[in-house]
């Protein structure tokens, strides 16, 4: 059961394991693969699950438990399980819940590896996926069949920064008895809590804003107790668990999540406003710009606009590449939500395997640039982008 929560920032700092006999202030690291038993009866009762206790770190570990409890409070979720990466969370969540023959309805604009999982691997186990346009939620109900089990989406989307109305998704899932799973990694639990809008499960890649400093891979799924129990039973056997070391790093990182994300968002908004006025920029997309087509929905479901700004350099692919080659301070890298600002060119990198038409259908044009706005001083971020545009 969820206790009455304190404010977000307070829970992020004060959710902590019980102190040991050493009365440490900061949570210690429990780098141990297994745990000991008092006697034969203790061991029997533990394995029989008559006691809630740690047995083996593939099942649970104190550091992972602290991280999970913290994210549950942040997302207003009942329970969770932590994974070695965001993709381990995505895969294990579906693998635990779906049977051969089941059907997924997914937004078209989803993380590339998730898309590959749905199209190239799930068909091996006779799990099919149909896609709806992220800007046409009315398509969803037409895709539902007797075999449909899950609706899956991300908002904001990557890299197009589209916004999906979570309340509408929640209603469709509720009305049709489907499980709504939201990948909330782009927003972080600080900006948006999908469970409030009817999501049953929320997935995060902890690698992004949660760590926020580009150090560790992690993933987590939180939500409804019954569903999480199935995910836990699958995962304790198949072994995708988060390492206690990474769990410790993440739990520390979450202490500063609100502070960091506030600055990411204010920097991103200032950059978006700068780009909107720039003559060499064809368009800019950022959820909290009034010009964003879903500005009102973004305001309804998010506290601020997030760390990612997308824009189009005038002149298409060549201009996009030239812009990249001219960047001096910012990183050309594949991560996001890092303290370091990162620029990517989806058409020539992450989405180069799609043809131009497929790219267009997920909102990626040839000159499109995605910036994950970091925590450097905004003047320096703008200066680098301005000189590269020049």
List residues binding ligand PLP (CB under 6 A): 85-87, 111, 154, 158, 183, 185-186, 205, 207-208, 217, 219
Q: Are 336 and 308 in contact (CB under 8 A)?
A: yes
Shortest Cβ 291–ligand PLP spacing (Å): 24
Taking the least distance from each CB to ligand PLP, the nearer of 68 and 319 is 68
- Residue closest to 202 by CA, chosen among 69, 59, 15, 76: 76
Give just the sign of the alpha carbon dihedral 326, 331, 337, 338: negative
Shortest Cβ 125–ligand PLP spacing (Å): 20
- The burial of 120, by beta-carbon neighbours within 10 Å (0-12 exposed, 13-18 middle, 19 or more buried), is given as exposed
Taking the least distance from each CB to ligand PLP, the nearer of 170 and 219 is 219
Taking the least distance from each CB to ligand PLP, the nearer of 60 and 221 is 221
Shortest Cβ 14–ligand PLP spacing (Å): 26
Shortest Cβ 81–ligand PLP spacing (Å): 15
Shortest Cβ 279–ligand PLP spacing (Å): 32
Residue nearest to ligand PLP (CB): 86
Taking the least distance from each CB to ligand PLP, the nearer of 65 and 205 is 205
Taking the least distance from each CB to ligand PLP, the nearer of 117 and 313 is 117
Taking the least distance from each CB to ligand PLP, the nearer of 86 and 287 is 86
Taking the least distance from each CB to ligand PLP, the nearer of 200 and 384 is 200
Q: Give the span between the Cα atoms of 42 and 346, in whole angstroms.
A: 55
Shortest Cβ 159–ligand PLP spacing (Å): 10
Shortest Cβ 215–ligand PLP spacing (Å): 12
Cis peptide bond prior to 117, omega within 30° of 0: no
């Amino acid at each position: 059961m969820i206790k009455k929560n304190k404010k977000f920032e307070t829970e992020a700092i004060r959710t902590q394991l019980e102190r040991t006999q050493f009365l440490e202030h900061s949570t210690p690291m429990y780098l141990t693969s297994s745990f000991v038993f008092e006697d034969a009866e203790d061991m029997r009762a533990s394995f029989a699950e008559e006691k809630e206790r740690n047995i083996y770190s593939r099942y649970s570990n104190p550091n992972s438990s602290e991280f999970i409890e913290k994210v549950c409070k942040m997302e207003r979720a009942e329970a969770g399980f932590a994974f070695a990466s965001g993709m381990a969370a995505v895969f294990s969540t579906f693998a635990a819940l779906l049977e051969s023959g089941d059907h997924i309805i997914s937004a078209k604009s989803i993380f590339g590896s998730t898309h590959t999982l749905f199209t190239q691997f799930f068909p091996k186990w006779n799990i099919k996926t149909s896609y709806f346009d992220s800007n046409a939620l009315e398509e969803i109900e037409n895709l539902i069949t007797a075999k449909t089990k899950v609706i899956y989406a991300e908002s904001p989307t990557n890299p197009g920064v589209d916004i999906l109305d979570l309340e509408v998704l929640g209603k469709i899932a509720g009305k049709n008895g489907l499980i709504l799973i939201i990948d909330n990694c782009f927003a972080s639990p600080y900006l948006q809590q999908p469970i409030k809008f009817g999501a049953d499960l929320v997935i995060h890649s902890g690698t992004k804003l949660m760590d926020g400093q580009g150090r560790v891979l992690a993933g987590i799924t939180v939500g409804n107790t019954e569903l999480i129990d199935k995910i836990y039973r699958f995962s304790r056997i198949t072994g995708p668990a988060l390492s206690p070391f990474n769990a410790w790093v993440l739990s520390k990182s979450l202490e500063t999540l609100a502070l960091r994300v506030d600055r990411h968002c204010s920097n991103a908004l200032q950059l978006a406003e700068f780009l909107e006025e720039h003559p060499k920029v064809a368009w800019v997309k950022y959820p909290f710009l009034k010009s964003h087509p879903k500005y009102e929905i973004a305001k309804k479901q998010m506290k601020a606009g997030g760390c990612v700004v997308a824009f189009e350099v005038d002149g298409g692919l060549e201009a996009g590449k030239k812009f990249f080659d001219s960047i001096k301070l910012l990183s050309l890298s594949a991560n996001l939500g890092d303290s370091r600002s990162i620029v990517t060119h989806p058409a020539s990198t992450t989405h180069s395997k799609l043809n131009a038409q497929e790219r267009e259908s997920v909102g990626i044009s040839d000159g499109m640039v995605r910036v994950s706005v970091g925590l450097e001083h905004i003047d320096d971020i703008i200066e680098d982008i301005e000189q590269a545009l020049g």
